Amino acid sequence: MAVRAIKKGIYAVGAIDWDRQLFDELIPTPQGTTYNSYLVEGSEKTALIDTVDPSKTSNLMDNLEETGLKIDYIIANHAEQDHSGSILAVLKKFPDAIVVTNPQCKKLLKSFFQFSDEKFHVLEDGESISLGDKTLKFIFTPWVHWPDTMVTYVEQDKILFSCDFFGSHLATSQLYAPDEALLLVYAKRYYAEIMMPFRPMIKTNLQKIYKLDIEIIGPSHGPLISNPSEIIKLYSMWVSDETLPQVILPYVSMHDSTRIMVDYVVEALINRGIEVKPFNLSKVEIGELLTALVDASTLVMAAPTVLTKPHPLLAQTIYLINLLRPKLEYGAIIGSFGWGTMMEKEIKELLSNLNIEYHETVLIKGIPEEKDFQDLNNLADQILKTME
């Protein structure tokens, strides 16, 4: 990847990972990703802001070589290895460089790598470092999405290097996204997969971001953001307590009983003017479902019973939803069984992190009959009531 100038004395020196299809061995990244690293050259000192994933260290080192600049400071906004994984290589090339970071990040870096204390300058929240004609200001943003996360603001250029905050897993050769709408889709997906569990903390940290005069956001994944107000506005909505009147319906079916129920309830909801989106768990890519959960008010879960429990495809999905804590308000369980089921109890236990009010469960034996369809109509009526 080439070195690219963002502004005078500010360069993108990170790496593009076109092939990465999975993050954390869990989250699909169908558009690949980038590990952004930035070089800020002041009149007296030069700082490198974050490094790259260890798999791309050679890209970063080639880029640094190309600039011909000597690095005085390595700013570690966040210790996770996709941003810190090349620090040792950079320190090897620039042995006098100092790692500038916050106390939490220092602790984590020391647990991942061999570091001596004298390699660090440990910051206080709001502290600045002068590079001569450029000043870096450091603002702690804990739990966005680790305890150590912070952002770096270049005062003179009004650029915010936000690390994972406002990021997107979107590989592109362009510095800025060629299609802003696409960027925002992937930023929302990134929020859903990485940031959503930390909604209250992000809300608090956004207050610090509102105070900054920002022209460009340089996240650590995905393209630069030239319209910061739009993404900040979207984050404000995503972390707010407001939900949209939408039903998200993950389902799995083995012998069609559950699928017949799903088809019926989807139509019943549409007939009542309710926005509904079913996700067939044996086909859907999980990131699509998680993104849909960012705003929705209602989750309807549908599955057959397997050995008295919900089908494992639904169970594993619910486990992840419970971890990611979307701001859902209402839930419902529908499905089928052959001779007995403990599905309702099991699902409610799996979703114990969520504070949701449940509509009446509809579990049927065998193939649905007239009475069961009436129960599904009742469920659709109950959902409608919450949206009127």
- Looking at the Cβ atoms of 82 and 375, the one nearer to ligand FEO is 82
- Give residues with Cβ within 8 angstroms of 171, minimum separation 6: 16, 17, 18, 20, 31, 32, 33, 34
Distances (CA, A) of 121 to 38, 71, 155, 285, 340: 19, 15, 20, 43, 62
Instruction: Report how far residue 146's alpha carbon sits from residue 326's, in angstroms, rounded to the nearest whole number.
Output: 18
Could you say which residues in the range 313-332 bind ligand FEO, by CB under 6 A?
none
Other beta carbons less than 10 A from residue 190's beta carbon: 27
Reduce the DSSP state of residue 63 to 3 states and report it: helix
Torsion of CA 5, 6, 11, 17, to 10 degrees: -100
Per CB under 6 A, 164 contacts ligand FEO: yes
Per CB under 6 A, 193 contacts ligand FEO: no
Span from 79-87, 240-248, 335-343, 368-376 in contact with ligand FEO (CB under 6 A): 79-87
Give me the amino acid identity at 8: K
Span from 76-84, 252-260, 271-279, 341-349 in contact with ligand FEO (CB under 6 A): 76-84
Per CB under 6 A, 152 contacts ligand FEO: no
Tell the smallest beta-carbon distance from residue 88 to ligand FEO (Å): 17
Span from 41-49, 77-85, 177-185, 226-234 in contact with ligand FEO (CB under 6 A): 77-85
In this structure, are residues 318 and 302 in contact, taking their beta carbons and an 8 Å threshold?
Answer: no
Per CB under 6 A, 82 contacts ligand FEO: yes
Rule CB under 6 A: choose which of 42, 48, 69, 78 binds ligand FEO.
Answer: 78
Span from 40-48, 80-88, 294-302, 328-336 in contact with ligand FEO (CB under 6 A): 80-88
Tell the smallest beta-carbon distance from residue 37 to ligand FEO (Å): 12
Residue labelled with tokens 């996700």:
279
- Looking at the Cβ atoms of 41 and 80, the one nearer to ligand FEO is 80
Per CB under 6 A, 148 contacts ligand FEO: no
Per CB under 6 A, 80 contacts ligand FEO: yes
Instruction: Report how far residue 333's alpha carbon sits from residue 352's, in angstroms, rounded to the nearest whole number.
Output: 15
- Looking at the Cβ atoms of 164 and 372, the one nearer to ligand FEO is 164
Instruction: Report how far residue 176's alpha carbon sits from residue 13's, in angstroms, rounded to the nearest whole number.
Output: 14
Could you say which residues in the range 83-112 bind ligand FEO, by CB under 6 A?
83
- Give residues with Cβ within 8 angstroms of 90, minimum separation 6: 48, 51, 60, 61, 64, 71, 74, 97
- Looking at the Cβ atoms of 170 and 296, the one nearer to ligand FEO is 170
* Secondary structure (DSSP) of 230-259: HHHHHHHHHHSS--EEEEEEEE--SSSHHH
Best CA proximity match to 162, nearest among 235, 78, 286: 78
- Looking at the Cβ atoms of 17 and 80, the one nearer to ligand FEO is 80
Binding mask 220-249 for ligand FEO (x = CB under 6 A): xx----------------------------
Per CB under 6 A, 189 contacts ligand FEO: no
Tell the smallest beta-carbon distance from residue 182 to ligand FEO (Å): 20
In this structure, are residues 62 and 95 in contact, taking their beta carbons and an 8 Å threshold?
Answer: no
Q: Which helix (H) or strand (E) holds 330?
A: strand 330-337
Measured from each CB, the residue nearest to ligand FEO is 80
Number of residues that bind ligand FEO (CB under 6 A): 9
Tell the smallest beta-carbon distance from residue 127 to ligand FEO (Å): 22
Tell the smallest beta-carbon distance from residue 16 to ligand FEO (Å): 14
Longest dimension (CA), the chain: 79
Between helix 228-239 and helix 199-210 the angle, nearest 10°, is: 150
Residue labelled with tokens 């909505």:
237
- Looking at the Cβ atoms of 78 and 188, the one nearer to ligand FEO is 78
Q: Which residues bind ligand FEO (CB under 6 A)?
A: 78, 80, 82-83, 145-146, 164, 220-221
